[in-house]
Structure 1
């Protein structure tokens, strides 16, 4: 898939819109493709792909875990529902889930690191 030159939306918005549609079907915590993979898929630079991911992260749809990647935080419709209802409790719950995802990703990274290092038992 490529971004459309005749589309008046910026490339990053086109990519973010396409990814947002896909993310709805993914479970919370699902890891997204890497910047390089997204850049190749959409035929853009990694900077543009990163800008698209930042749009989604700013919306709370995905969360970035440094050195691990981008993960689904919540489906776009769930985030919108919380904002429309003015539900601060919903926003707090979403923030708590984001925090849990980051903690779990850190634990996975630590376990992977241990699995790759020689056993010192």
Structure 2
């Protein structure tokens, strides 16, 4: 479970990626209980809050499920989870921004050519 403490990528994102990799590779099976946040934090050498952020993201995606008083469990492989509506909306916004950027560049280019 190596993470790069000095890397540019946030530690929580690195942990999220590592947990996702472990689940996808079958190292952690669907239905398996994850170790406690405290235990994961010790394994990764980070604060519990950092692990909590990674776990929450995977819960939001539907990969993990927490059961009060019992723990956090793997509910699905990352590839088996359908994109959420929020993910679809975000992609739609990105597409629209990309289109607007191209239109602005086209207008700027035509103005530049007209000024010559």
- Quote the offset at 1:2 in angstroms: 4.5
- Quote the offset at 1:28 in angstroms: 2.2
- Structure 1: segments with no counterpart, 5+ residues: 85-121
Report the TM-score when normalising by structure 1: 0.61
CA contact (8 A) 1:2 1:41 kept: no
d(CA) in 2 for partners of 1:13, 1:61:
15
d(CA) in 2 for partners of 1:72, 1:42:
19
SS at the partner of 2:72? strand
- Structure 2: segments with no counterpart, 5+ residues: 85-116
Question: How many residues matched?
Answer: 82
| 1:18-43 deviations in Å (ceiling 9; x for gaps) | 01111121332110111111000000
Instruction: Write out aligned runs for 1:81-120 (5 A).
Output: 82-83=82-83
Instruction: Write out aligned runs for 1:9-88 (5 A).
Output: 9-24=9-24, 25=26, 26-79=28-81, 82-83=82-83
CA RMSD in angstroms, aligned pairs only: 1.7
Report the TM-score when normalising by structure 2: 0.64
d(CA) in 2 for partners of 1:40, 1:11:
13
CA contact (8 A) 1:2 1:43 kept: no
Structure-1 residue corresponding to 2:8: 8
- Quote the offset at 1:10 in angstroms: 0.9
d(CA) in 1 for partners of 2:83, 2:47:
32
